[in-house]
Amino acid sequence: MVYNGTMKLTKYMHACIVLEEQGQRLVIDPGEWAADVNSLSNVAAIVITHNHFDHFNLKNVRAILQANPTAHIFTTAETANELGGQATNITPVTEGSTAQAGLFSLQFFGQMHALVTQDKPVTQNVGILVNGNLYYPGDSFTLPNKAVKTLALPVSGPWLKTSESLDFMVAVKPQLAFPTHDALLSEAGISVYEGLYKMLAQANNITFEQLRPGQSIEI
């Protein structure tokens, strides 16, 4: 299904998303399982929501920067510290930060990762709204507190319950939602949650579309 819009959205494995606007690209969360992003060109910026391996992989970031030396990085202060001297164009961001990267207007929401266990330190995390269209919360259920067209919806992980993810989708109430953070699901698991999400989405006038790695849509 094609959605009328100006941005091309491509889902990569697990938590990585690439947006394209008039030839420029924005890479979100090039984690360890998203090696396919290494060869991308015309990357205006990289957004890293937090420093966990499935969202932030230094080897992938280095490869993107090597191919796109002017690309700017927006991330949390913790992740910026881990990048150290790997890049010069780094801007730490948090709740309320805004930025412009080429054709991409960026707004940031939230401050912390969702709780995993009581004894595990909570890392910094930011959600990102791109061009007032796509909202991606990272590993959190931080609400954007404004209408969004497209929601990248976390559906699996040690920090969430399916009921929380479903409630988050309804609370945001986008026009379109698609699953992210889903590499831990089996094929059987995907078919189960897809039915749940589609049923609730339909009841709330939301389109839920299953995207597999490598698939693209226009938003």
56, β-bridge pairs: none
Residue with tokens 């709740």: 95
In a domain, 37, yes or no: yes
In a domain, 217, yes or no: no
In a domain, 110, yes or no: yes
In this prediction, residues 137-155 reach a mean pLDDT of 97
Give residue 14's Cα distance to chain centre: 10
Phi, psi of 205 (to 5 degrees): 60, 40
Task: Report the C-alpha gap between 194 and 190 in whole angstroms.
Answer: 6
Task: Report the C-alpha gap between 35 and 213 in whole angstroms.
Answer: 12
Where in the sequence is the domain holding 28, given as residue range(s)? Answer: 8-210
pLDDT higher than 80, residue 5: no
Residue with tokens 């609400």: 143
Helices 187-203 and 162-172, packing angle to 10 deg: 40
In a domain, 109, yes or no: yes
In this prediction, residues 161-188 reach a mean pLDDT of 95
Identity at 194, one-letter amino acid code? E
In a domain, 49, yes or no: yes
For the chain, first and last CA: distance in Å?
11
Q: Is the pTM of this model over 0.85?
A: yes
Going by C-beta distance under 8 Å and a sequence separation of 6 or more, which residues neighbour residue 78? 50, 51, 123, 124
Q: Which tens digit of pLDDT belongs to each residue from 80-103?
A: 999 986 667 999 999 999 999 999
CATH of residue 73: 3.60.15.10
In a domain, 218, yes or no: no
Rounded percentage of the chain residues whose pLDDT exceeds 90: 83
Q: CB 202: neighbour CB atoms within 10 A?
A: 11
Task: Give the pLDDT confidence score for residue 43 in this predicted structure.
Answer: 98
Phi, psi of 128 (to 5 degrees): -135, 130
Q: Where are the alpha helices (DSSP H) in 37-176?
A: 58-67, 77-83, 162-172
Among 85-89, 126-130, 168-172, the minimum mean pLDDT is found in: 85-89
Tell me the average pLDDT of the chain.
93
Report the chain's C-alpha Rg in angstroms.
16
Going by C-alpha positions, the residue among 174, 176, 162 that lies closest to residue 208 is 176
Task: Report the C-alpha gap between 188 and 207 in whole angstroms.
Answer: 22
- Structural domains in the chain (count): 1
Task: Report the C-alpha gap between 124 and 97 in whole angstroms.
Answer: 14
pLDDT higher than 60, residue 1: no
Task: Give the pLDDT confidence score for residue 95 in this predicted structure.
Answer: 97
Reported as a pLDDT band with limits 50, 70 and 90, residue 3 is very low
